[in-house]
Structure 1
Amino acid sequence: MEQTWRWFGPQDRVSISDVAQAGATGIVSALHHVPTGAVWSPEEIAKRQREVATMPDGTPSQLTWSVVESLPVSEDIKKQQGNWRAHVESYRQSLRNLAAAGIEVICYNFMPVLDWTRTDLAWRLPNGATCMRFDLTDFVAFDLHILKRPGAEADYDEVLKDAAARRYAEMSADTAEQLAGNVVFGLPGAAEKFSLQDVREHLAQYARMSEETLRQHLIDFLSEVAPLAEELGLKLCCHPDDPPFPLLGLPRIMSTEEQYRMVMDAVDIPANGITLCSGSLGARPDNDLPGMMERMGDRVHFLHLRNVKRETADVRGSFYEAEHLGGDTDMVALIEAALREEARRKAAGRKDCSIPFRPDHGQDILDDLGRRAQPGYPSIGRLKGLAELRGIIAALEPRIAAE
């Protein structure tokens, strides 16, 4: 398994030198400053490759840009409105440019409006560490009393609405503003930043879109880009919804194994694949992560290995980012399934027999607490996670190879 590390570019407070010392060999990055829908030029791609390959002191890093995360899909494409056809053609050209640069794995998502949602970006644990958390009551308070989404009351039962009303009544103006900022938080250096009004306008445009319609829009998009990716030797891999249940009245189409299967079957070529994120999918108690890896592993092109601790048994509930071996997903079983998939690929002579993975997210511990890196992407917390995952791999690999 190729050990990779997400890096947000030169402004990332975790440096390329930090990554090299952590022991990763590949970098997961993107051109966040390029507006969504625009072409990633050969010049910008080459610039990022040079940044990845160079330490802060100018010496070689021995690292390569091995996975793109993400080449974003525009809201116009998801809605099939406005400039969506031009954006598809720009996406196709970006794929050509990435292939020419030798980058083969392209992660993307098809979540409407918000790429991911948390209500707290630095929730304090009993040991003093902090982590990201999704609190359902806080989110409902945001939806009903801050965003004031039309029709939101119909999405929640009376018990949850009452709890959210009490929670909101206890918030100061600063707390309410912080909650709103957390929910619409973006990536560092991103070209687009959403305001509450932006979110309201996008939601209005999605108001009558069904799950089936959004899925068809994804299939239409893949029908345009996946054959080209196959021709270029690329692997597209769709990230699951995060959280993997409906929010803000928006449809969710990549939250379960069944939903993934429909899309894989609809565009049934190897280039159309999966980013199996154990944290996103693991936030639902009805998702079987090791089983998904066993049953759909031939289409898994990228792994995000992280763990969450669910706070309820409901499909839609609160959860927080746990230690990599401390959440509700059996990480040993998942990694074993991934290693067995790699062994099958090797026996079949597949070029992609080493699946890239990264230690996704991490708790802020030790010096992370003062570093103020991108939420979810601390230096030491991820290093701890990578070390734990590396230990599992080292223990399982020889046994699987000997079978």
Structure 2
Amino acid sequence: MIHTMRWFGPNDPVSLMDIRQAGCTGVVTALHQIPVGEVWSIEAIEERKNLIEAGNDKFVPLHWLVVESLPVHEAIKKGLPEREQLIENYKTSLRNLAECGIFTVCYNFMPVLDWSRTNLNYEMPDGGKALRFVWEDFAIFDLYILKRPAAKNDFTSEVQIKALNKLNQMTKEEVSTLTNTVLLGLPGSEEAFDLNTFQGLLDNYKNIGDKELRENLYYFIQQIAPVAQEVGINLCIHPDDPPKPLLGLPRVVSTESDLKQLMAACDIRNNGITFCTGSLGIRTDNDLTGMIEKFGERIHFLHLRTIKREENPLNFHEAAHLVGDVDMYEVVKAIVAETHKRQGEGRADWNIPMRPDHGHQILDDLHKRTYPGYSAIGRLKGLAELRGLEMAIEKAEVII
């Protein structure tokens, strides 16, 4: 695997030198300053690329290997008439990225919200902090803070009662923290959605169910994947996180069946997958190693992390990279087997970019302000563990 880390640009408290010293040769980033839907110009791409590669003549070289993410405009997800121009803009951005030598582009198709959590500072037994999702806490937000009209349909009466009882014991500060956590904007931003306007964003999807969202996704990929093939870009969709409907919104990239349908909707290798073991691993019905074997040739980017399902299986928290409910040994063994297979086929992209996804806030980072899940030391620890696991598997030749 090619070892990379996500970098949020010049304002990221984790520096490029930190990423280099962690043992990475690749950087995963995006032009967060450009509004969603606008074209990424060659000038803007080159400016970021040059920033990443500055110092390559003196230090271990770093390269911008993966775009995460080239975001998909909500009008495309909703299938509105203006999607045609927005798709053309997306195609232009892909061509410009290829012109600049960047050939892996991650995106997602989650409506309104990106990944969702209810706690960004869940204290672990060792004193570190992790991201956590608690279904009852999400119910508190949905039922009693947002007061979404149809929310009661999504929660059992038992959960509704427990959520209300818990809400009555919360302080104003705790309610505010939960609200801002659920409404947190996309990665790369510390700004949350506005509660007063958030219901309106959801209302825009009132006529868009599972079927319609799938159709809009397949239409989008059918338009852009041929351009990606033409310029040599591998597109890789990120799974839903969590992989289930939330806030009355459909989610259509959560299961093996979802991925199979998407791959079939545009059956070219450039229409591929960001294989996130954390997102997919939340569901007990996702066989991760089996999915790697089935979709191996279409996996263009790897997010390696694990989660721990709690006593209530709807609750989970981010576990350390080699523990939890994802069998990382079997996952990495399957990935190594896939890379060997690609080498045998003579594929130029045999070596898959990987980043240690998320990480606990530990040690000195407990006293620093960082993007949730993206502190330096927790990811460094995860990367070290994953690199060691990969090397051990290669050395033991267990893939033969």
Q: Deviations over 1:198-243 (max 9, x none)?
A: 3211110112311111011000000110000001000000000000
- Provide Cα deviations, 1:269-321, integer angstroms capped at 9, x if missing partner: 0100000100011111111111111111111000000010011464xx01001
Partner residue of 1:12? 12
Query: 1:169: how far off?
Result: 1.0
Deviation of 1:125 after TM superposition, in Å, equals: 1.1
Deviations 1:16-67 (A, max 9, x none): 1100110011000000111000001111101111121136x99656100000
Instruction: Provide the identity percentage.
Output: 49
1:79, distance to aligned residue in structure 2 (A): 0.1
Query: Do structure 1's residue 366 and structure 2's residue 346 form an aligned pair?
Result: no
Shift of 1:192: 7.8
Q: Tell me how far apart the structure 1 counterparts of residues 312 and 251 of structure 2 sit (CA, whole Å).
A: 20
Aligned to 2:33: 33
Given the alignment of the two structures, is residue 296 of structure 1 paired with residue 295 of structure 2, yes or no? yes
Residues 365-395 of structure 1: per-residue CA shift (max 9 Å, x gap) = 1011012211100111000000000011101
One-letter code aligned to 1:394: M
Q: How does 1:4-403 map to 2 (within 5 A)?
A: 4-54=4-54, 62-81=61-80, 83-187=82-186, 190=189, 194-312=193-311, 314=313, 317-400=314-397, 403=400
Q: Deviations over 1:113-137 (max 9, x none)?
A: 0011001111111211001100111
**Which consecutive unaligned segments of at least 5 residues does structure 2 have?**
none
Q: Aligned partners of 2:99 and 2:384: how far apart in 1? A: 33
How far apart are the structure 1 equivalents of 2:279 and 2:187? Answer: 21
Q: How far apart in 2 are the matches of 1:307 and 1:290?
A: 14
Shift in Å, 1:174: 1.5
User: Aligned with 1:94: secondary structure?
Assistant: helix
| Residue type of the alignment partner of 2:17 | S
- Contact 2:184-2:190 within 8 A present in 1 as well: no
- Opposite residue 111 of structure 1, the aligned amino acid is M
Taking a change above 3 Å as real, the CA distance of residues 197 and 76 of structure 1, as seen in their structure-2 partners, is farther
Aligned-residue Cα RMSD (Å) equals: 1.7
Q: Cα deviations across residues 334-378 of structure 1 (Å, max 9, x unaligned)?
A: 000001011111111111100110000000110110122111001
The alpha-carbon deviation at position 191 of structure 1 amounts to: 10
**Amino acid aligned to 1:396:** I
Tell me, in whole angstroms, the C-alpha distance in 2 between the residues paired with 1:234 and 1:336. 26
- Residue 42 of structure 1 aligns with an amino acid whose one-letter code is I
Distance in 1, Cα, partners of 2:338 & 2:81? 41
Partners in 2 of 1:360 and 1:50 — Cα distance? 25
* Alpha-carbon distance, 1:197 to partner: 3.1
Change (3 A) 1:313 1:138: closer
Asked whether the 8 Å contact 1:2–1:356 carries over to 2, the reply is: yes
Q: Is the 8 A contact 1:35 1:191 kept in 2?
A: no
Q: Distance in 2 between matches of 1:188 and 1:394?
A: 31
Q: Secondary structure at the match of 2:116?
A: coil
Q: Deviations over 1:158-193 (max 9, x none)?
A: 111111111111111111111111011124654985
- Cα distance in 1 between the residues matched to 2:399 and 2:370: 42
* Deviation, structure 1 residue 194: 2.1
| Range that drifts further, 90-99 or 184-193 | 184-193
Amino acid at match of 1:26: G
Task: State the SS of the aligned residue for 2:236.
Answer: strand
Give the 3-state SS of the residue equivalent to 1:102 in structure 2. coil
Aligned residue for 2:2? Answer: 2
TM-score by length of 1: 0.96
2:305·2:356 contact (CA, 8 Å) conserved in 1?
A: yes
Q: Give the unaligned 5+ runs of structure 1.
A: none
Cα distance 1:357–1:294, how it changes in 2: closer, same or farther (>3 A)?
same
1:117–1:188 CA distance, 2 compared to 1 (3 A) = closer
Q: Match for 1:27: what amino acid?
A: V
How many angstroms apart in 1 are the aligned matches of 2:387 and 2:98?
Answer: 29
One-letter amino acid of the structure 2 residue matched with residue 340 of structure 1: A
Question: Residue 164 of structure 1 aligns to which amino acid in structure 2?
Answer: A
SS of alignment partner, residue 398 of structure 1: helix
| CA distance in structure 2 between the aligned counterparts of 1:209 and 1:34, rounded to whole angstroms | 27
Contact 1:33–1:189 (CA<8 Å) still a contact in 2?
A: no
SS in structure 1 opposite 2:66? strand
Kept in 1, the 8 Å contact 2:20–2:62? The answer is yes
CA shift, 1:401, in A, is 8.4
